[in-house]
């Protein structure tokens, strides 16, 4: 029987509770406490098992104005949201996602409806007051409160019907003004620049609480020209319902919790940042960024603000992102013609982007290089990458220990490491100090050398058959 799919965020919160993976916190202060707890709870959990957090009775705010974080940051919660069977480990979810992309994935364009819970309350023009929501001051060295972190910023390409939806942090300036930061090359920034080049403000809707699958699509590198709401709909197995925003007719997920509407202005700048960043540093200073003037706020009764807190990994989003990014890279490598890929893993310590490992069954000379360069340069793997390690299929890429062993014993550094120079990166890269923020990378061949791989010394370890026999004979020794 087909699993009944969730409607939105609230169904997934209920499911997290049923799984025993939801922690409720009452009475926390939006000023630093929420940020510290989001970071610390996730860091103290076992890998892949961090609970989601639901904050209520937040200091200075009415009961019911809640904050939620970590929606799909566990193996089980992510698998459930994606409609996959109960996984036994993260690679099960990677494999299911990649199989779906390979076999039967179809984006499902959103369906327009006349109303929905997001329209339960609408504040217009002078009634707009963003401070009514518990925007957290997340990290001690931040430059202000961030109302948008687990956020979906939707804009329309002025030259086509394309709606791009993406995660770009949103700083709270005052009751009706925000700042937004988009890294060079990001789709929303390319779209915004088209409006600014014509001397026009750029219309925008910003969802601040929503189905985690919409957030997943917004924060992954989906193709230029693709509609992330349709992409997320394809993964939910059911199209999202949307309503049209009052001012600009932009799509708003009908089940969203809080949505802002307004315009970004290229000629009105305000200081934005600094903000704790995903690589784990304050690498970019505060800068002057376009303001967003908010003229409409749509929100549900007892709204839930979704929060992510980038910082030194692991964070409340990195595990789920590692799974999805690994699957996307695997899929893109295969679509670019690389066979023999057995597994891909983007390590959380590399902020799910900077340290990616690909395991392959070597099939022909040059195969390793092809795999490494594709993993580094496909769309899902390109932005802000640093290391790609290619290992043989006997190495589990999720095992840091095994990966280091392969690098230590199968890689001859002067011959097996290639450097890629001047690639797509970001001001958030701590090694980059000035524009154009291009970075350098390494593709590491940690595979047995193709020319004599079959003559490579045998691995000195107990055979699987003997291991199994010992497990059966001495069960008490192995727990």
Mark the segment that binds ligand FMN (CB under 6 A) among 67-75, 182-190, 250-258, 436-444. 182-190
Residue 182 as a binder of ligand FMN (CB under 6 A): the answer is yes
Residue 168 interacts with ligand FMN (CB under 6 A): yes or no: yes
- Residue from 187, 236, 386, 410 in contact with ligand FMN (CB under 6 A): 187
Paired strand residues for 390: 358, 445
When asked if residue 149 is in the footprint of ligand FMN (CB under 6 A), the reply is yes
Structure tokens at 126: 């002078």
Task: Name the residue nearer to ligand FMN (CB basis): 166 or 260.
Answer: 166
Site for ligand FMN contains 356 (CB under 6 A)? no
Beta strands in 273-403 (DSSP E): 287-299, 304-306, 341-346, 355-360, 387-392
CB 287 within 8 A of CB 143: no
Backbone angles phi, psi at 174, to 5 degrees: -155, -165
Answer yes or no whether residue 166 interacts with ligand FMN by CB under 6 A: yes
**C-beta closer to ligand FMN: residue 315 or 370:** 315
Residue of 185, 88, 67 lying closest to 134 (CA atoms): 67
Q: Where are the alpha helices (DSSP H) in 359-474?
A: 367-377, 379-382, 400-410, 413-416, 464-473
Who's near 27: CB < 8 A, 6+ residues apart?
57, 58, 59
DSSP letters, 149-182, are SS-EEEEE-TTSS-EEEE---EEEEETTEEEE--
- Assess whether 112 carries a catalytic annotation: no
Residues 315-334, one symbol each (x = binds ligand FMN by CB under 6 A, - = not), give --x-----------------
Total residues interacting with ligand FMN, rule: CB under 6 A: 19
- Pairing state between β 202-209 and 258-272: antiparallel
Distance of closest approach, residue 138 Cβ to ligand FMN, in angstroms: 11
| Nearer Cβ to ligand FMN (152/407) | 152
The answer to the question of residue 148 lying near ligand FMN (CB under 6 A) is no
Decide: is 219 part of the binding site for ligand FMN (CB under 6 A). Answer: yes
Q: How far is the CB of 236 from ligand FMN (least distance, A)?
A: 19
Rounded Cα distance, 384 and 390, in Å:
18
The catalytic residue among 241, 277, 332, 348 is 277
Q: From residue 100 to residue 139, what is the string marking binding to ligand FMN with x (rule CB under 6 A)?
A: ----------------------------------------
Residue found by looking up tokens 């009764």 in the block: 301
Is the distance from CB of 298 to CB of 121 less than 8 angstroms? yes
Per DSSP, the residues of 34-100 read: HHHHHHHHHHHSPTT-PPEEEEES-TTS-TT-EEEE-TT-SHHHHHHHHTPPPPSSHHHHHHHHHHH
Contact criterion met (CB below 8 Å) for 105 and 117: no
221 in contact with ligand FMN (CB under 6 A): yes
Q: Interacting stretch for ligand FMN, rule CB under 6 A, among 72-80, 183-191, 358-366, 397-405?
A: 183-191
Interface region with ligand FMN, contact rule CB under 6 A, candidates 107-115, 215-223, 248-256, 398-406: 215-223
Looking at beta carbons only, is 167 or 356 nearer to ligand FMN? 167
Tokens of 94: 């990677």
Give the shortest CB-307-to-ligand FMN separation in angstroms. Answer: 9
Q: How far is the CB of 476 from ligand FMN (least distance, A)?
A: 45
Q: CA angle at residue 430 from 424 to 434, to 5 degrees?
A: 65
Q: Label residue 60 left, alpha or beta by phi (over 0 means left) and psi (-120 to 50 means alpha).
A: left
Nearer to ligand FMN, 149 or 245 (CB): 149
Q: Is 169 near ligand FMN (CB under 6 A)?
A: yes
- Report H helices in 224-286: 228-236
Q: Which of 181, 319, 330, 437 is close enough to bind ligand FMN by CB under 6 A?
A: 181
In whole angstroms, what is the distance from residue 442 CA to residue 86 CA? 36
Minimum separation from the CB atom of position 352 to ligand FMN (A): 8
The residue range among 180-188, 246-254, 329-337, 439-447 that interacts with ligand FMN, by the rule CB under 6 A, is 180-188
Of the candidate spans 31-39, 81-89, 167-175, 330-338, the one that interacts with ligand FMN by CB under 6 A turns out to be: 167-175
374 to 393, contacts with ligand FMN by CB under 6 A?
383
Which residues are part of the catalytic machinery? 277
Residues of the shown chain interacting with ligand FMN in the complex, contacts defined by CB under 6 A: 149, 164, 166-169, 181-183, 186-188, 219-221, 308, 310, 317, 383
């Amino acid at each position: 029987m087909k699993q009944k799919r969730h409607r939105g965020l609230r169904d997934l919160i209920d499911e997290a509770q049923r799984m025993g993976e939801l922690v409720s916190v009452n009475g926390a202060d939006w000023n630093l406490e929420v940020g510290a707890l989001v970071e610390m709870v996730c860091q103290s959990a076992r890998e892949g098992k961090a609970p989601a957090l639901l904050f209520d009775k937040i200091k200075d705010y009415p009961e019911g104005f809640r904050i939620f974080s970590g929606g799909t940051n566990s193996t089980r919660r992510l698998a459930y949201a994606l409609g996959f069977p109960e996984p036994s480990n993260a690679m099960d979810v990677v494999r299911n996602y990649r199989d779906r992309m390979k076999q039967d994935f179809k984006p499902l364009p959103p369906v327009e409806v006349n109303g929905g819970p997001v329209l339960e309350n609408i504040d217009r023009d002078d009634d707009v007051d963003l401070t009514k929501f518990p925007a957290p001051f997340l990290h001690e060295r931040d430059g202000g409160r961030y109302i948008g972190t687990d956020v979906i910023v939707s804009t329309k390409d002025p030259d086509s019907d394309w709606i791009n939806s993406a995660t770009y942090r949103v700083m709270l300036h005052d009751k009706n003004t925000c700042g937004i930061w988009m890294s060079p090359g990001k789709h929303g920034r390319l779209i915004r620049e088209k409006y600014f080049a014509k001397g026009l403000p750029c219309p925008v809707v910003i969802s601040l609480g929503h189905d985690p699958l919409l957030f997943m699509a917004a924060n992954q590198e989906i193709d230029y020209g693709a509609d992330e709401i349709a992409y997320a709909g394809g993964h939910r197995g059911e199209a999202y319902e949307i309503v049209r925003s009052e001012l600009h007719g932009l799509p708003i997920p009908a089940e969203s919790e809080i949505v802002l509407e307004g315009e970004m202005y290229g000629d009105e700048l305000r200081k934005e940042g600094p903000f704790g960043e995903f690589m784990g540093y304050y690498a970019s200073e505060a800068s002057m960024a376009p303001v967003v003037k908010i003229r409409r706020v749509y929100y549900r009764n007892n709204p839930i603000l979704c929060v992510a807190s980038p910082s030194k990994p692991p964070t409340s989003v990195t595990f789920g992102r590692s799974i999805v990014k690994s699957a996307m890279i695997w899929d893109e490598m295969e679509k670019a013609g690389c066979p023999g890929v057995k597994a891909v893993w983007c390590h959380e310590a590399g902020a799910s982007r900077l340290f990616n490992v690909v395991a392959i069954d070597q099939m022909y000379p040059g195969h390793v290089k092809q795999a490494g360069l594709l993993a580094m340069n496909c769309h899902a793997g390109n932005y802000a990458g640093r290391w790609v390690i290619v290992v043989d299929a006997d190495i589990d890429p999720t095992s840091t220990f095994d990966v280091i062993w392969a690098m230590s014993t199968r890689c001859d550094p002067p011959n097996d490491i290639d450097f890629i120079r001047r690639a797509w990166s970001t001001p958030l890269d701590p090694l980059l100090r000035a524009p154009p923020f291009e970075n350098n990378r390494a593709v590491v061949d940690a595979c047995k050398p193709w020319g004599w791989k079959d003559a490579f010394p045998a691995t000195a370890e107990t055979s699987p058959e003997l291991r199994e026999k010992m497990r059966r004979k001495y069960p008490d020794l192995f727990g």
